């Protein structure tokens, strides 16, 4: 089964967590420190791979079926994000929603890398 790193509203306690269904939580972890973390219009988070000089972003890894990914989780994702692979803190990889490259310069992006947590950003907003 594929593993999916979630770092926004689909995490436990988030408004979209129901999209995860009964999928098991594999780990609460962070990414490797190679990502800029953005709030898109204040509505949802986006990871941008910058290689070096990024932040280790907090999230949760779930084991989802391909059917659940295809039919439930991915259709609920907002524009500006695409399915990609991120590097986790332990060096392993995971599927994740990442910022589309052509969206990296959009004015509605707010860099929240210093917080490195969607929950912390929401609490501070």
- The mean predicted confidence, pLDDT, of the chain is 93
pTM: 0.93
Over residues 42-80, the pLDDT tens digits come to 999 999 999 988 999 999 999 999 999 999 999 988 888
Which are the contacts of 53, defined by CB distance < 8 A and separation ≥ 6? Answer: none
- Closest to 37 (Cα-Cα) out of 90, 105, 89, 112: 112
What DSSP designation does 72 have?
A: I
- Domains in the chain, start-ordered, CATH in brackets? 3-124 (3.10.490.10)
Residue 104 has pLDDT above 90, yes or no: no
């Amino acid at each position: 089964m594929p593993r999916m790193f979630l770092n926004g509203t689909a995490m436990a306690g988030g408004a979209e967590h129901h999209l995860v269904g009964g999928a098991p939580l594999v780990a609460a972890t962070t990414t490797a420190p190679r990502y800029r973390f953005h709030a898109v219009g204040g509505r949802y988070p986006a990871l941008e791979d910058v290689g070096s000089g990024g932040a280790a972003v907090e999230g949760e890894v779930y084991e989802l079926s391909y059917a659940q990914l295809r039919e439930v989780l991915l259709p609920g994702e907002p524009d500006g994000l695409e399915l990609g692979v991120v590097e986790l803190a332990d060096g392993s990889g995971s599927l994740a929603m990442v910022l589309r490259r052509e969206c990296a310069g959009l004015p509605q992006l707010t860099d929240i890398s210093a917080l490195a947590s969607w929950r912390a950003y929401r609490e501070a907003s």
